[in-house]
Amino acid sequence: MPSNKELSAALDIEGSVPIHSVQLDAMVVLKIVKHCRESIPATVTGQLMGLDVNGVLEVTHSFPMPKNNQDSEDDASNYQVQMMRCLREVNVDDNSVGWYQSTNMGNFMNQSLIEHQFEFQQALSKSVLIIHDVARSSMGNINLRALRLTPAFMKLYKEKKFTTEALTKAKLTFSNIFEELPITIRNTALLTALLYELETADESIEVSTSHLTTYKSTASAPANKSVLAPSFDVLDLSLDPYVAKNLENLMDTIDDHHQEQGNYAYWQRSVERENKKKAAYLLNRKTENARRTASGQAPLANEDVDAMFKIPAEPSRLDHLLISGQIDNYCKQINEFAGPTLGKLFAVGELQK
Amino acid sequence: MSRFFRAGESDSDESDSDYSDELTHSESEDHSDSDSDNSSSDDDDTAKKTGGRGRLFEGSMSDSDSEDDTVRVVRSAKDKRFEEIEQAVTSMINGQKINDWVSAQNEFDRANKGLQKAAGIIAQSGVPKFYIRAVADLEKSIQAALEKEKSSSKKMNASNAKALNSMKQKVKKNNRLYEKEIQDYEKDPENYVEEEVVEEKPKAKKAKKVVVADSEDDSDVEAADDGFTPVGAGGKSVEFNQENIYKKLKEVADARGKKNTNREDQVRILERLLVVANSPYQKIRVLLALTSAQFDFAIGASGYMSIPLWKNADKYLNSLLTLLEANPDYIIKEDVPEVEETDKDLVPQNGEPVYIQGSLVAFIDRLDDEFTKSLQNIDPHTTDYVDRLKDEVGLYSVIVRSQAYFTRIHLTDSISRTTMRRLEHLYFKPDIVIVAVENATAALLPASVARPHQDSSVLIHDLCVFLYKNATSLLRTRSMLCHIYHHALHNRFFVARDMLLMSHLQETIHQADVTTQILHNRAMVQLGLCAFREGMIKEAQTCLQDISGTGRVKELLAQGLSPQRYGAATPEQEKLERQRQLPFHMHINLELLECVYLTCSMLLEIPNMAQAGSNPDGRKKVISKPFRRMLDYNSRQVFSGPPENTRDHIMGAAKSLSNGEWQKSIELINAIKIWELMPEAMKIKEMLGHKIQEEGLRTYLFANASHYSSVGLDQLAKMFDLPLASVISIVSKMVWNEELSASIDQVSNVVVLHHVEPSKVQSLALAFAEKAAGFVEGNEKLLELKTPQQAERPKKGANANKEQATGKQQQQRTMGPRGGRAGRNQFNNGLGNSVRGGRK
């Protein structure tokens, strides 16, 4: 890449172009998958490196972050800085463009993730969050999502004002906390070439062995034919665990939601109580004033009624928003799962006839 | 500091009590007589009657009781009291002149005390003026002394200063009472006291005159008092005769309700009048007055009319009714314009009836209420109670008689009221008693008025139907409840149940008054007992659930006060509750009730618990909480001895039933003694034995189904000693109700058990359906609560809708394929809807 620097400079100038899609290098994908799968069931995170070009965020490199980084925030950032320096030395992209996180069954809507992403997006307006769902990936298709916080949410989060009114004004609901970007996976030319070669290789393995010795040793195994053959994970018929897991999670979330409901109802009741008191006071005042004017006295001075009756502050709706989002997530997952599953079941039924 | 504090405190206490004393004194003038020793006992009566005037009179009389015989100084009570006060005041003034505040304080206290004693006198003649003068001066000189004290360098001694200070406080408080007088005094300090002296003499004279004039009047009363020669003080004899009968009646009527009226005398006068009266009109008038005079004796809610008085009232009422029956032209009505007080004897002319003002129905109500009250207050375990209860026949006959009378003169409202009274005397009684009462009444009354009903049910039916047609809604409700009670008492469960359901009483009973709610609860309980006698365990349990399940049975049935847990009830509430109590003979046996309830609960709960097994969701479905609690408590006991009371028996039976030992269970249930109180105890025991066998079979199947792949029907029949047909029917019922996943193989006569457990996803889906329903409910509640100034929340709505959709779908699925069960259960839901009466 000869004009890397120029390009970035040029891009910085017109930095207002919003990102509309994410392009992941195959290697990055593999690295993420590997990292996430190794550390199941713990949630792990890592850094993404790359550059945004004309609204497309190209992610060319990634590295995992060490675990339990919440104990020592400094260590983590030190590690990051050092890692970046090392990467620069070996001449890899060292421009941070976001981070990734593993998740299990789409269970990622929580305060810390939001906060993290918020900080990222504050510092780097074009950063992105890649969510890799390990459990769902194991069902056959790899599951990656590229997410960004919406500007409306960013604004509200900055102000830390999650009242009902603010939410309505910003037209913010659980479905537009995040915007999802389409992901494309790109292979380098070399890799594509290799793949092509592999595809044709099964007829004449010998031909390619001369320059691909490492490959030969593995590919020469009897099952070698299926190296790039389609995966049959998709046809897995153990469907119950997935649904069960989803339902369990869903129920937990609903319990959380129930608690939020309780909080909110409590607040509503207390507001109502205060309002009633206030109304009673005002009415009292009014009759008193009427009486006084009738008897020729000066009406009572207007006091600051609002100061006398303090209406309790509305509880933050953020939690509720996230929980709703989470419920939505689960519901979607079950929905998404249900369609193909039904198809599978019918297919199996037909086969068994 | 503390001493000062204490002094201040005690002084305020004292003056407070002074104040209250004064109040009570001025309130009850009469009692002040007893305070003063010099009022002779002979005069007591006169004094009472003539009130204030008498006291002056008495004061002018010679004081014969005085201890000091030699010096017979004639002094009026007033003079004597005032002299005391005056002395105290003089020495107080002396004290304050020489700056001796300690003695001044003492004298001041003495004066106040004297004032209190003389409160009765003061209330008439006002506060003595010299006192006012002294008090007003006192305040001034205290102020002066305090100022001097401040300015002067020489200090007073400590006790003196203290006395001065406390005096200041006291006087301030004291003077507030006499503010007006003090003002008067201050306007004209010179002439103030003289005025009084001048005033005094004519007043006394005048009073004397009044007394003389009065004595004539009084003599009448006195004459009645001794009952011998009706000779008044003036030597004039007083006669009761035809001429003055109306005058006397009017006098009595006017005196009624006045404070100083001697009620006994009034009654005596009336009794004499009754002897004199000879025309029916006169007699009716006198009897009316006499009856109400009887009732005047009983005042206060807690006390009750003494029995002889009640009997008198009963007697007079009876003779009044006899009179009215004999003279159909005289009619007593409530809304008759007051007749001009003429001395004429009203005689019906040209068939026009004579209307007399009065309310017979009020007398009947009062008589009945007093009867109930006396029963509430008499200890039910004494013979007094039984004796009292014997009077009921008389009361009942009066009621029947008046009912007949009202029917004759077409007073619909009064008819319904008396009919209701009659019904309330009958509805809870068994047939034999009703027939006996009816026969006794018929014997007491003339044949034209009452004829005995031989069939109690017909009687009750007639009474109720009359009330349904004619009475107000409250009476209709009450009569409906009585009718239901009566049906339930006679084991007509379905009739009673249909009446209850068709009247829709259960929906509105919450708004009814407490006594009606209590009646409703009684009817519910009786219905439950009826269902039990008929062997309908489930119905019995649901009927009794709301009453017996609460632990406030006593209160709900008004059969005794339940212990106050938090001491929450104020005395008024407690008093109200006491008034509501039912007399003992109407009580439903609570122990029997509990026994029935627990037995029903056992028969339902044990199979239910076996069915739930270890499944945590199933365990939540509790039929009877109290039963479970008792069972838990019982099973926690390390050693359990042989059963002693009813509860122990049932718990023991429940345990052996759940273990499949049905013989032992039956033995234990049959050993309960209280069944003997049930009619046809043997039959009930037999029924229970049968039920226990059946439930034992069910419990066994629930508990052990998982261990079998098939069970022989014959073996089951042998095990539980049931005929094969009924085993098959029970098992089929269980299969049909989806309680047991099994099928019957009729060829080889076995029950084949299927072991189908729901998969994890299925059970999760079920749980989720419940959760989602709760979720939707919560959202809806929130939306309802939404205060008006809140902005719209579209998100919430959308969310709720979505969830609702899924929730509904799920719920429909969980309903199960057979909707038939829901329909059957509705009845039970309808029934299990009892009311908590009690305090509100």
Q: Give CA torsion, residues B653, B657, B663, B669, to 10 deg.
A: 30
More confident residue, B226 or B615: B615
Q: Is B621 helix (H, G, I), strand (E, B) or coil?
A: coil
The per-residue pLDDT for range B473-493, each reduced to its tens digit, is: 888 899 999 999 999 988 899
- HEC secondary structure over A286-305: HHHHHHHHHCCCCCCCCCCH
- Residue among A316, A263, A18, A313 nearest A157 (CA): A316
Query: B787 in contact with A at a CB cutoff of 8 Å?
Result: yes
- Rounded to two decimals, the pTM is 0.54
More confident residue, B425 or B20: B425
Of A75-79, B623-627, B795-799, which gets the smallest average pLDDT?
A: B795-799
pLDDT of residue B29: 43
B715 to chain A nearest CA, in Å? 41
Please determine, for residue A23, whether its predicted confidence score (pLDDT) is greater than 70: yes
Please determine, for residue A5, whether its predicted confidence score (pLDDT) is greater than 80: no
pLDDT of residue B525: 92
ipTM of the assembly?
Answer: 0.71
Name which of B761, B770, B804 to mutate to probe chain A: the one with the most chain A Cβ atoms within 10 A of its Cβ: B761
Name which of A256, A260, A268, A277 to mutate to probe chain B: the one with the most chain B Cβ atoms within 10 A of its Cβ: A268
Please determine, for residue A191, whether its predicted confidence score (pLDDT) is greater than 60: yes
More confident residue, B382 or B76: B382
The per-residue pLDDT for range B365-417, each reduced to its tens digit, is: 888 888 888 888 888 888 888 888 888 888 888 888 888 888 888 878 888 88
Cross-chain Cβ contact A247/B761 below 8 Å:
yes
Residues of A in contact with B761 (CB under 8 A): 240, 243-244, 247
pLDDT of residue B495: 92
**CA A323/CA B700 separation, integer angstroms:** 46
| B131 in Cβ contact with B89 (< 8 Å) | yes
pLDDT of residue B327: 78
Residues of A in contact with B772 (CB under 8 A): 254
Q: Give CA torsion, residues A331, A332, A336, A337, to 10 deg.
A: -30
- Residue among B670, B661, B604, B611 nearest B631 (CA): B604
Mean pLDDT of chain B: 72
Cross-chain Cβ contact A168/B781 below 8 Å:
no
Name which of A175, A237, A240, A249 to mutate to probe chain B: the one with the most chain B Cβ atoms within 10 A of its Cβ: A240
More confident residue, B59 or A190: A190
How many contacts does A have with B, using Cβ atoms within 8 A? Answer: 66
pLDDT of residue B347: 62
Of B419-428, B559-568, B640-649, which gets the smallest average pLDDT?
A: B559-568
Of B68-82, B86-100, B282-296, which gets the smallest average pLDDT?
A: B68-82
**CA B562/CA B521 separation, integer angstroms:** 16
| B332 in Cβ contact with B324 (< 8 Å) | yes
Please determine, for residue A37, whether its predicted confidence score (pLDDT) is greater than 70: yes
pLDDT confidence band for B329 (50 / 70 / 90): confident
A275 to chain B nearest CA, in Å? 10
Please determine, for residue B692, whether its predicted confidence score (pLDDT) is greater than 70: yes
**CA B606/CA B609 separation, integer angstroms:** 5
Of A8-22, B310-324, B480-494, which gets the smallest average pLDDT?
A: A8-22
Instruction: Write the CA distances from B99 to B141, B174, B788, integer angstroms.
Output: 10, 21, 74
pLDDT of residue B123: 65
pLDDT > 70 fraction of chain A, expressed in percent and rounded: 81
Cross-chain Cβ contact A269/B779 below 8 Å:
no
- Residue among B257, B254, B251 nearest B272 (CA): B251
More confident residue, B736 or B80: B736
Cross-chain Cβ contact A258/B785 below 8 Å:
no
- Average pLDDT estimate for B719-744: 88
Facing A275 at nearest CB: one of B781, B786, B787:
B787
- Average pLDDT estimate for B585-592: 87
**The pair of three-digit structure tokens given for residue B257, joined into one six-digit string:** 């309700």
Distant-in-sequence, close-in-space partners of B719: CB < 8 Å, separation ≥ 6: B697, B700
Of A214-223, A335-344, B107-116, B367-376, which gets the smallest average pLDDT?
A: A214-223
Site of tokens 């009319």: B305
Query: B760 in contact with A at a CB cutoff of 8 Å?
Result: yes
Q: Is A314 helix (H, G, I), strand (E, B) or coil?
A: coil
pLDDT of residue B562: 63
Site of tokens 């060319």: A60
- Average pLDDT estimate for B749-762: 81
Residues of A in contact with B787 (CB under 8 A): 268, 271-272, 275
More confident residue, B337 or B14: B337
pLDDT of residue B532: 92
- By the 10 Å C-beta count (0-12 exposed, 13-18 middle, 19+ buried), B730 is classed as buried
From A275, which residue of chain B is nearest by alpha-carbon distance? B787
**CA A303/CA A288 separation, integer angstroms:** 14
For the ranges B6-20, B25-39, B701-715, B754-768, the one whose mean pLDDT is highest:
B701-715
- Residue among B822, B767, B737, B775 nearest B618 (CA): B767
Please determine, for residue B175, whether its predicted confidence score (pLDDT) is greater than 60: yes
pLDDT of residue B26: 43
pLDDT of residue B782: 79
Mean pLDDT of chain A: 78
From B774, which residue of chain A is nearest by alpha-carbon distance? A258
Cross-chain Cβ contact A251/B771 below 8 Å:
yes
Cross-chain Cβ contact A243/B761 below 8 Å:
yes
**CA A314/CA A246 separation, integer angstroms:** 32
- Let me know how long chain A is: 353
Name the packing angle between helices A151-159 and A111-123 (round to 10°).
Answer: 100
Please determine, for residue B9, whether its predicted confidence score (pLDDT) is greater than 60: no
- DSSP code at position B123: H
**CA B385/CA B377 separation, integer angstroms:** 9
- Average pLDDT estimate for B314-334: 80
pLDDT > 90 fraction of chain B, expressed in percent and rounded: 8
Name which of A171, A246, A257 to mutate to probe chain B: the one with the most chain B Cβ atoms within 10 A of its Cβ: A257
Facing A244 at nearest CB: one of B760, B790, B795:
B760
More confident residue, B523 or B98: B523
The per-residue pLDDT for range B103-122, each reduced to its tens digit, is: 777 877 777 777 777 666 66
Return the percent helix, strand and coil in chain A, to nearest 5.
Answer: 55, 15, 30
pLDDT of residue B481: 92
Amino acid code (one letter) for B631: L
Name the packing angle between helices B2-27 and B158-177 (round to 10°).
Answer: 30
- Average pLDDT estimate for A281-299: 84
Query: B791 in contact with A at a CB cutoff of 8 Å?
Result: yes
pLDDT of residue B496: 92
Cross-chain Cβ contact A174/B794 below 8 Å:
no
Residues of A in contact with B768 (CB under 8 A): 247, 250-251
Cross-chain Cβ contact B761/A174 below 8 Å:
no
Facing A269 at nearest CB: one of B771, B779, B785:
B785
More confident residue, B362 or B293: B362
